[in-house]
Structure 1
Amino acid sequence: MNDSGAVLPWLVIREDDNGNRYRVGRYATRDEAQHVVETLEDSGHRQMYWVERIRSTA
C-alpha cells in the first residue's frame, strides 16, 4: 500500500462552546489519536476533544 492509500481509521474530534464539531485529524492508531487529545487538553484549550473510530465500509 502506498501513502495515498494509507488507512487512518482514528479521528480526533473537537466540540466548541457552541456545540459545533470539527475533525482535528485522522490517525493510524488509537494511541496516536489519544496522544493528540491529551496534548490539546494539556495546552489549555477549553473545547472538548475525543477519539472516534471510522467504521469500515468494506
Structure 2
Amino acid sequence: MTDGGAMLPWLVIRQDDNGNRYRVGSYATQDEAQRIADSLGGRGPERLYWVERMGQAAPS
C-alpha cells in the first residue's frame, strides 16, 4: 500500500464489540502505528486496537 508512492506496511486495526475489524490507517513505521493505536485505545466501549504488518495474521 502506498500513499504518494511511499511504502506504508504497518496497519492499525480496530475491532469493535461485535467482532467487526476495520483498518484505521497505514503507517511507514511500527512505532508510528503503535503511537496511533495507543492514542485510540481508551476511546469507546469494547474497542480493541492493535498494530500488524501488512499480510500478517490478525490476533484471535
Unaligned residue ranges in structure 2 (runs of 5+): 56-60
Moved over 3 A (4+): none
SS of the residue corresponding to residue 8 of structure 2 reads coil
Aligned pair count reads 52
Query: What is the CA–CA distance in structure 1 between the aligned matches of 2:24 and 2:9, rounded to whole Å?
Result: 13
Normalised TM-score (structure 2): 0.77
Aligned-residue RMSD, C-alpha:
1.4
Which 5+ residue runs of structure 1 have no aligned equivalent? none
Question: Higher strand share goes to which structure?
Answer: 2
- For each residue in 1:1-58, what CA deviation from the matched residue of structure 2 results, as whole angstroms up to 9, or x when unmatched? xx6211000000000000000000000000000000111124x333000001014xxx
